[in-house]
Amino acid sequence: MTSTTLGPIPVALASPSIPVVDPDAPLLSVRDLRVWYELKRWGFAHAGDVRAVDGVSFDVARGESLAVVGESGCGKSSLMKAILGLNTPTAGQILFDGRDVSALRKGDLKWFRSQVGYVQQDPFGALPTFMNVKRILEEPLIINGVDDPVERQARIEQALIEVKMSPPAEWLPKFPHMLSGGQQQRVVIARSMILGPKLLVADEPVSMLDASVRVEILKILRKLQEEHNLAVVYITHDLSTVRYFSEHIFVMYAGRIAEMAKVDDILDDASHPYTLALLSASSDPDARNALVQREVPPGEPPSLVHPPAGCRFNPRCAFAMEGVCDEREPPTVEIKDEHLVHCWLYDKEVMGDRPLGVPARKELVDGKPL
């Protein structure tokens, strides 16, 4: 049995207004996205806004996988919820297959939800405890108009086989509490794939799993992406896992993208001081790490209610230039093909005769003071 034999899922209420889209166009386009949460005093008076996502733009091609990386509070989860249609953008636009996600209504919204799979961080919390595996996987098929029970059974069994839960008959009657964490996450992945989506959004899918099963889950996701030509947005704070799965990395800090590039360019030739700090803080299974004092930026991430002027990393950056980084928004500089960095260290006018970013990179990696 193969997914090719089964064919596409017929979404019952798919809107006839869905346009024919250029197959070479990006599947997902995010344009100057802002997601702000309003703060109120006494329940009604405006007291400010939490600028969780503040001017983010990128494209995701069909079949492409990218990772959004950053520490807690950087805005990556708010970005993810906006992509899923759970957060309404304050400004900007999210286009999926040529449609504005925030403008979708009724049938169009149901079509969109059938096209986007979601893998949650906590597998046990994502699965209804009163349903067995068969019912969990069958429910989205029923909702989306797959009325033939034989076809539903075939799709359920295929989904389980694809996540390496064989034979399917052994797993179908089991409830979530009867499964291990890794098995629960496989069921979550199978459910996210059951409707044949074009885009998969994975919110730290391995952060709550044992180290022994993390790589296996990432390999399953990678295999599904390649076999089904899936576009994948992988949300994580762990740079050590992205090499197994993603083709591009976007590094977020305080609601904005600091650096974006191909995986190897980020991991082997990172350019933004914050990206270098993340890499320095990432632990590898090497006994020599016990003898190394890692350099980490001082202080805490800034308040997103009153973010600092200029570059938002400047209060913690050892290489911030007074009168520049603390006053003016950094430019977007393409330092090589598909490698963009938002940093004044790469601006020719500001740096003058000094090397563009090279001293900063070396000194940060070597842990030497400026």
> Model confidence over 97-124: pLDDT tens digits?
989 998 888 778 889 999 999 999 999 9
Confidence band for 283, pLDDT divided at 50, 70 and 90: low
Residue 69 inside a domain? The answer is: yes
Residues 103 and 207 in one domain: yes
135 has pLDDT over 90: yes
Q: What are the tens digits of pLDDT across the range 254-270?
A: 999 999 999 999 988 88
The amino acid sitting at 107 is G
Burial class (CB in 10 A: 0-12, 13-18, 19+), 293: exposed
CATH number at residue 167: 3.40.50.300
Q: Output the pTM of the full model.
A: 0.86
Q: What are the tens digits of pLDDT across the range 325-357?
A: 999 999 999 998 989 999 999 998 888 877 777
Residue 2 inside a domain? The answer is: no
147 has pLDDT over 70: yes
Confidence band for 17, pLDDT divided at 50, 70 and 90: low
Mean pLDDT over 66-84 rounds to 92
Confidence band for 297, pLDDT divided at 50, 70 and 90: confident
Residues 159 and 234 in one domain: yes
What local confidence, expressed as pLDDT, does residue 106 receive?
A: 77
Final residue of a structural domain among 217, 246, 275: 246
Residues 199 and 286 in one domain: no
What local confidence, expressed as pLDDT, does residue 188 receive?
A: 97
Residues 218 and 167 in one domain: yes
The sign one gets for the Cα dihedral 125, 130, 134, 139 is negative
Residue 5 inside a domain? The answer is: no
Residue 4 inside a domain? The answer is: no
192 has pLDDT over 60: yes
N residues, the chain? 370
Confidence band for 286, pLDDT divided at 50, 70 and 90: low
Residue 235 inside a domain? The answer is: yes
208/93: higher pLDDT? 93
- Give me the residue label for tokens 């391995």: 206
Final residue of a structural domain among 231, 246, 261: 246
* d(C-alpha 287, C-alpha 298), whole Å: 25
Residues 241 and 255 in one domain: no
What local confidence, expressed as pLDDT, does residue 292 receive?
A: 66
Residue 7 inside a domain? The answer is: no
Residues 203 and 163 in one domain: yes
Residue 149 inside a domain? The answer is: yes
Residues 187 and 264 in one domain: no
Residues 256 and 241 in one domain: no
Mean pLDDT over 144-170 rounds to 95
ω into 302 cis (within 30 of 0): no
Report the number of distinct structural domains present in the chain.
Answer: 2
Residue 17 inside a domain? The answer is: no
C-alpha distance across the termini of the chain, in Å:
61
Residues 165 and 92 in one domain: yes
Confidence band for 290, pLDDT divided at 50, 70 and 90: low
Residues 349 and 260 in one domain: yes
The sign one gets for the Cα dihedral 168, 172, 177, 181 is positive
User: Which domain does 343 fall in, by range?
Assistant: 251-366
pLDDT-above-70 percentage for the chain: 87
What local confidence, expressed as pLDDT, does residue 43 receive?
A: 81
Here the tokens at position 200 are 């998969």
Residues 282 and 157 in one domain: no
* Highest mean pLDDT of the ranges 6-20, 160-174, 318-332: 160-174
Chain-wide mean pLDDT for the chain? Answer: 86
Confidence band for 287, pLDDT divided at 50, 70 and 90: low
Mean pLDDT over 74-100 rounds to 93
**SS3 of the chain:** CCHHHHCCCCCCCCCCCCCCCCCCCCCEEEEEEEEEEEEEECCCEEEEEEEEEEEEEEEECCCCEEEEECCCCCCHHHHHHHHCCCCCCCEEEEEECCEEHHHCCCHHHHHHHHHEEEECCCHHHHCCCCCCHHHHHHHHHHHCCCCCHHHHHHHHHHHHHHCCCCCHHHHCCCCHHHCCHHHHHHHHHHHHHCCCCCEEEEECCCCCCCHHHHHHHHHHHHHHHHHHCCEEEEEECCHHHHCCCCCEEEEEECCEEEEEEEHHHHHHHCCCHHHHHHHHHCCCCCHHHHHCCCCCCCCCCCCCCCCCCCCCCCCCCCCCCCCCCCCCCCCEEEEECCEEEECHHHCHHHHCCCCCCHHHHHHHHHCCCC
